[in-house]
Amino acid sequence: MTVKLKHWLVVASLGLLCAVQAEAQTATKFLADRHVAKGINCMMCHDDVKKGTIKLNEKKHEACTQCHGWYDQVAKKTVPVEKDDQNPHSQHDGNLPCTECHKGHKPSVNYCGGCHMWGFKVP
Ligand code: HEC
Ligand code: HEC
Ligand code: HEC
Ligand code: HEC
């Protein structure tokens, strides 16, 4: 192996290391930070950024549904791998706010866990 090629490999693996570290950092941030990092600005979730009130549509559904859809749509993305597990989006509370589980700037909450045994990890 030529010296030049070895040098290139060191540079390339360092680059990879940085990329892995950056990925780990974004993964630990809260939901709102991960959205902002993808170019989604504060006003796409909020109608008042100072108060932090969430934008609602005419059905009183939160801004989240404008991009991700209502429960019927998100439930299709979270079909459990094990058939005995429960889909977190097939719920019996009707107009349950998404933010009952998904928090913006703090750790999310497993709302169902207040009554059921499912250990949902809410992103
Ligand atoms: C302007 C559009 C938009 C709005 C509003 C929005 N999202 Fe997202 N969301 C995205 C995009 C784009 C992604 C990244 C691509 C993907 O994973 O679908 C994403 C990813 C996610 C993810 C998976 C990735 C992660 O980082 O955890 C969750 C969970 C999520 N959004 C929940 C929500 C919730 C809850 C709200 C409301 C509080 C919301 N989103 C509001 C566009 C939006
Ligand atoms: C009961 C708590 C709870 C509520 C309420 C809830 N979610 Fe989720 N959501 C979860 C959990 C748990 C996951 C992760 C599921 C998984 O990884 O299999 C998730 C994952 C997601 C994802 C990522 C799906 C993917 O592609 O992996 C999106 C987007 C999302 N939720 C949007 C919403 C929206 C929009 C609403 C309101 C209409 C909502 N959620 C309400 C618990 C909840
Ligand atoms: C993906 C949607 C989303 C985005 C983007 C977002 N927020 Fe939030 N924000 C929330 C949710 C949900 C809450 C409700 C409280 C919580 O979950 O922390 C909230 C609450 C707040 C609050 C009330 C105080 C608090 O922490 O509870 C403020 C202030 C706020 N956001 C400011 C901002 C600013 C400034 C930005 C842009 C840098 C931003 N938000 C981007 C979802 C979002
Ligand atoms: C306030 C308490 C409470 C909360 C919170 C709650 N449930 Fe339930 N759930 C119940 C009760 C009570 C029953 C009826 C139990 C029975 O029939 O044995 C039930 C029944 C169910 C059932 C059908 C029976 C079963 O165990 O298969 C499903 C599915 C379910 N809940 C899903 C959810 C999901 C998903 C969430 C979170 C979005 C949730 N529940 C939140 C109280 C709750």
Number of Cβ within 10 Å of residue 18's Cβ equals: 10
- As given in the structure block, the two tokens for residue 3 are 């010296």
Contacts of 61 (CB under 8 A, 6+ apart): 70, 95
Q: How far is the CA of 49 from the centre of ligand 2 (A)?
A: 23
Q: Hey, what amino acid is at 4? A: K
Nearest bound ligand to the CA of residue 56:
1
Please check whether residue 105 is in contact with residue 42, taking contact to mean a CB–CB distance below 8 angstroms: no
Q: Summarize pLDDT for 60-81 with one digit per residue, the tens.
A: 999 999 999 999 999 999 999 9
What does the DSSP 8-state code read for residue 93?
Answer: S
Q: What are the sequence ranges of the domains in the chain? A: 1-29, 41-114
Please check whether residue 110 is in contact with residue 102, taking contact to mean a CB–CB distance below 8 angstroms: no
Place of tokens 């009130």: 53
- Cα separation, 66 vs 80, in Å, equals 24
Specify the pLDDT at position 28: 64
Q: At 92, is the pLDDT very low, low, confident or very high (cuts 50, 70, 90)?
A: very high
Of 84 and 5, more confident: 84
Q: How far is the CA of 73 from the centre of ligand 1 (A)?
A: 13
Ligand 4 binding pocket includes 110 (Cβ within 6 Å): no
Checking if the pLDDT of 10 tops 80, the result is no
Give the H/E segment covering residue 6. helix 3-28
Q: Summarize pLDDT for 36-46 with one digit per residue, the tens.
A: 999 999 999 99
Checking if the pLDDT of 7 tops 60, the result is no
Please check whether residue 62 is in contact with residue 97, taking contact to mean a CB–CB distance below 8 angstroms: yes
CATH topology of domain 41-114: Flavocytochrome C3; Chain A, domain 2 (1.10.1130)
Distance from the Cα of residue 66 to its chain's centroid: 15
Of 109 and 15, more confident: 109
Q: How far is the CA of 64 from the centre of ligand 1 (A)?
A: 7
